[in-house]
Structures are given as C-alpha cells and as structure tokens.
Amino acid sequence: MGTGPGWQGTTILAVRRGGRVVIAGDGQVSLGDTVIKGSARKVRRLSPGGYDVVAGFAGSTADAFTLLERLESKLEATPGQLQRACVELAKDWRTDKYLQKLEAMLIVSDGAQMYVVTGAGDVLEPEHDVAAIGSGGNYALAAARGLMETDMDAETVARHAMAIAADICVYTNGHLTVETIEAG
C-alpha cells in the first residue's frame, strides 16, 4: 500500500455532489505481485471536538496514521477550519525533519470543502468536484469525471468509478470502504 520497497497500490476517490462528499477507498494491500490483505480500511472518519471530517489515504499505513493524528490535532487547534488545518499540516510535513520522511497522501473533506494534501506542501482543492490518489487514482478520476455527466448521486458515481479502477489497476480491488459526509 505504501511506497516502500516492493509496496504498491491503493485507490482513494472523493466525489462532491448534491450537498455531500463521498470518499471511497479500496481494500487491497500488495507486496510485489502478492496480495497481502484484501480488506484494509483506508478511509476514516475523524471527529476532533465534534467537527466531522472524512479522510482517505494512500501510501504507507503507519505514515498515514501519523498524518491523520497530526491533522486531528490541527483541527482541534482550529475548530471548523479545515483549510487552515490542512495548510498547517502541509507546512509541518514539508519542514519537520521527521515528517519529511513520511510517504503518504491524503484526501480530506468536511462535506463542504475537499482537499488533497501532499508531503510536497500541496493543499489542492480539486476541480470538477472529483479528486483521486493512489495507483488507481487516475483511472478512478477519469471514470468519475465521465460519470459526473450523468444524474447519478455522489455515492453511485464513486462506486462505479472505483469498480472501473479495480478492473484496470492490479493494485486495486473491489472491496470498498465508503464514507459520506454532508455539507454544513
């Protein structure tokens, strides 16, 4: 799942539509050409101080959990300010010698805002109300963008796009964790 020696894969997709954001992640963890686990949970709900955020991660699991803990503490320090918390996390991630070594990416949303956060210091607000990361991310992104032309709801778009990614990317499976968060 991470980017360490021999580790590959994951697909995380976020879709915003109809006043909600759906973040979906596959469950496959691979080491080389071997599937180690098929039901990993790479999408989590965080509730620091009663403020709900959904986050999906690609990369090293331990690194991602470290980043999620840091994000929670940033959200506790800046309640209700997801963008500010993400920017503060990205600044720390880029400048702290320990954090610089972490190999993961995050998609986070509070239902109204949606961001991709990277170790390069990026806090990106995606266009077209769709974001994706991981080895199958480009497949899921392309599929979701095409499905946004339909009248499907956010969860249906996410599930169909993830199924397409799982059919194409050998490091992505169809065992999904799906979390929905409402705007406001």
Tell me the binding residues: 166, 169, 172
- CA-CA distance, 120 to 166, in Å (whole number)? 27
Q: What angle do CA 57, 152, 108 make, to 5 degrees?
A: 20
Q: Quick check: is 10 catalytic?
A: yes
Tokens of 34: 């071997």
Q: Which of 10, 11, 150, 180 is catalytic?
A: 10
Q: How far is the C-alpha of 174 from the C-alpha of 87, rounded, in Å?
A: 32
**Active-site annotation, residues:** 10
